[in-house]
Amino acid sequence: DIQMTQSPSSLSASVGDRVTITCRASQIISSYLNWYQQKPGKAPKLLIYGASSLQSGVPSRFSGSGSGTDFTLTISSLQPEDFATYYCQQSYSTITFGQGTRLDIK
């Protein structure tokens, strides 16, 4: 299976900060990379699909980039509701997820 490695595993930031989360695949996955946000006690929510396409209804401060093996999720200006855990997921072959990045308030 393809291993997905996110960094950092946790991150403390302040409202208004620009934040970048990285996801690296153990082999080339083209653009078959999606990002999800999960809040405690809730199901994951799709943010970005196909590495860089913003899901309908998701604020434009979220953006994704990358292809091949290296991908990033950027939040341009953190809002209070953005503090959550973020997961990358590849759909190139047998589905696997990154271990998650916990984003909390500094």
The residue among 14 and 94 lying less far from other proteins, judged by its C-beta, is: 94
CA-based diameter of the chain, in Å?
37
Q: Least separation, in Å, of the C-beta of 4 and other proteins?
A: 10
Sort 61 into a burial class: Cβ within 10 Å, 0-12 / 13-18 / 19+.
middle
Nearer to other proteins, 13 or 58 (CB): 58
Name the site residues for other proteins (rule: CB under 8 A). Answer: 32, 34, 36, 42-46, 49-50, 55, 87, 89, 91, 94-100
Q: How far is the CB of 15 from other proteins (least distance, A)?
A: 26
- The minimum distance between CB 10 and other proteins, in angstroms, equals 13
β-sheet with 62-67: strand ranges across = 4-7, 19-25, 70-75, 62-67
**Considering the complex, what minimum distance in angstroms separates the CB of residue 80 from other proteins?**
23
Query: What is d(CA 71, CA 22) in angstroms, rounded to the nearest whole number?
Result: 6
Which residue, 17 or 46, has its beta carbon nearer to other proteins? 46
- Closer residue to other proteins (CB): 50 or 59: 50
Q: How far apart are CA 75 and CA 27, in angstroms?
A: 26
